[in-house]
Amino acid sequence: MHSVFRRGYATLPDTAAAARTASTPRAVRLRRLRKRQVPSSSESDALPTGLTPTEFARYQRSLAKGDLMGPDGQEPSEAEWLEKLNARRTRLRGTRTVLTGDKTNETQVVGQKVYLPNIIFRLVRNFTPPGKPYNPYEATFRIPQSVTKTDVRSYLAAVYGVQTTYIRTDNYIAPIKRTRDASFSRGDSYRTYKRAVVGLVEPFYYPQAVEDMSTEEREKREEFLEEAYQVSRSKDLVKLFLFQLTKKNSKNWSWRNGLTAQRGSILKRIAEQRALRETFVETKKTAMQEARHSA
């Protein structure tokens, strides 16, 4: 991908920078909360020099240890160190440039071919605290625990042509449950997964949630779903099928048509049964009174 069309860390817009602050790992956010006031939902925690608190602490430690001193004995300023750090972060990973037979450079994906793969990558919405902007330069996947960062990088580049800048992973282990025989067992396997937060070169906006849509957008979405998938018809068919299962094989069962499941027909049937019951009770009552008088 040409560098002109690539957006790096140094050119992040203000909203993406604020979203990057909101997507900081929880342990880091709690540590910063003990030291300073948390910025608002539309602000980034970066210092005037562009360094985040964590980057500034790294710069100070490296400066104190003398790791930043160059051959000429000069130490880079905060802006120069941040520029070098952004250049390293923005580099495309998982690819390499090789020289072909016709003396041209070709970009290849680093990785090995996997035949008949049985892994599933599930794209989910980024974690965004309420009132905070969505970060389009990150994508979140749920992947099997056996998949590594190199596998994620190679998969996205080879299958979808998506270039990545960084990958953060963490594991979620399902809670342990106690079985009936008083032994312990791991929870449901589908609840155990690995999360991969991938940094993107090009922004990707996850489809808007239904609760965040306006009334007009929500109506258009429902019309599209109804036209494409016939949601209402499917629900009606399921209701009729379930009603047929509950009614079938009962005494005096007879299936007439779809009107049987309508509310008016059901209420009418209930009223008829109630009137029949009251008539039966009144008849028995009259018979018992006549029997008493005759005795």
pLDDT one-digit tens code per residue, 244-258: 777 656 666 665 655
User: Does the domain at residues 122-210 carry the CATH identifier 3.30.70.330?
Assistant: yes
pLDDT tier at 182, thresholds 50, 70, 90: low
Quick one: pLDDT at residue 22?
66
Question: pLDDT band at residue 6, thresholds of 50, 70 and 90?
Answer: very low
* Per-residue model confidence (pLDDT) at position 1: 36
Q: How many CB atoms lie within 10 A of CB 158?
A: 17
Q: Where are the beta strands (DSSP E) in 52-204?
A: 95-99, 105-109, 122-124, 138-143, 164-172, 176-178, 184-186, 193-200
Considering the entire predicted model, what is its pTM? 0.48
User: Tokens standing for 282?
Assistant: 């009144």
Q: What is the pLDDT at residue 188? A: 55
Q: What ranges in the chain are assigned the alpha helix state H? A: 14-22, 26-33, 53-65, 78-89, 149-155, 215-229, 231-247, 263-294
Phi, psi of 288 (to 5 degrees): -70, -40
Domain spans of the chain, in order of start:
3-91, 122-210, 214-255, 262-295
Q: What is the mean pLDDT of residues 122-141?
A: 84
Please indicate whether residue 230 or residue 201 has the higher confidence score (pLDDT): 230
pLDDT tens figures, 31-67: 777 776 665 555 677 777 778 777 888 888 888 888 8
Looking at the chain, the whole-number percentage of residues with pLDDT higher than 70 is 75
Report, as an integer, the average pLDDT of 72-83: 84
* Contacting residues for 177 by C-beta, under 8 A, at least 6 apart: 184, 185, 186, 187
Residue 141 pLDDT greater than 90, yes or no: yes
